[in-house]
Structure 1
Amino acid sequence: MSTASTMIAVGLTVAAAAFAGRYVVKAMKHMEPALKQTIQSLPKSAFSGYYRGGFEPKMTKREAALILGVSPTANKVKIREAHRRIMVLNHPDKENVCLTGGSPYLASKINEAKDLLDSQNKK
């Protein structure tokens, strides 16, 4: 292949990519109202299990239960199961696909939540 034909091939590839990108942007603009409507039609309870906000200065029983995703009155078995499930996902030594690994700070908060609920629940 000569230099001229290589330049033409590169130019056509760039043009095709530009047209494809333009098409995607236009398609997304048309889909935006439908996407917003779909998100608004989702039940609010679908997102109610997530803990929003930062950590409190001193962990409370409520905050510990929210972190582990259990009831504040959960028994020790439920607490340990929840702790294990969450620690498997957030352990500092774990390498995630999209992250470099877990957070030591989050792991310490998860452990603190387990310890607090374990000490307050005698079941």
Structure 2
Amino acid sequence: MSGTLILVGLGLAGSALVARTILRSSGPMAKKMEQSFTQLGKLDYKYYRGGFEPKMTKREASLILGIGQSANKKKYREAHRRIMLLNHPDKGGSPYIAAKINQAKDMMEGSLKL
């Protein structure tokens, strides 16, 4: 049984190497695909690792809205609107996430009681 698994693994690895060799030698198409793969690896997803803090802070609010902590009223309202359009519960978004987005906007406005 384990010998079969090893042979299957070696077969898959060998076929992947053969496919890579064929693609690299196929000319312009291979270069285009290789460029695409390298660009995919360089994409910077603005992903904040970690959950929500127990009490909303201005730092967390700016992270949720994707703006700087010293952003003006127009900027954080635009950010709130854009994010809520994507995450609204009526459009299939999470009510919890929508509440956190609204709480972040309130924090940026300064109307949230500390």
Instruction: Give TM-score, length-normalised by structure 2.
Output: 0.61
Extract unaligned runs of 5+ from structure 2. Answer: 1-11, 21-33
Distance 1:54 1:30, change over 3 A: same
Query: What residue in structure 1 maps to residue 42 of structure 2?
Result: 42
Extract unaligned runs of 5+ from structure 1. Answer: 1-25, 95-100
Query: Which SS does the other structure have where 2:110 is aligned?
Result: helix
Check if 1:30 corresponds to 2:16.
Answer: yes
Matched to 2:16, the amino acid is H
Query: Which SS does the other structure have where 2:53 is aligned?
Result: coil
The Cα shift of 1:38 comes to 3.3
Check if 1:105 corresponds to 2:62.
Answer: no
Instruction: Give TM-score, length-normalised by structure 1.
Output: 0.57
The Cα shift of 1:118 comes to 1.1
Match of 2:67 among 70, 78, 84: 70
Q: Percent identity?
A: 62
Cα distance in 2 for partners of 1:62, 1:74 equals 12
The Cα shift of 1:53 comes to 1.3
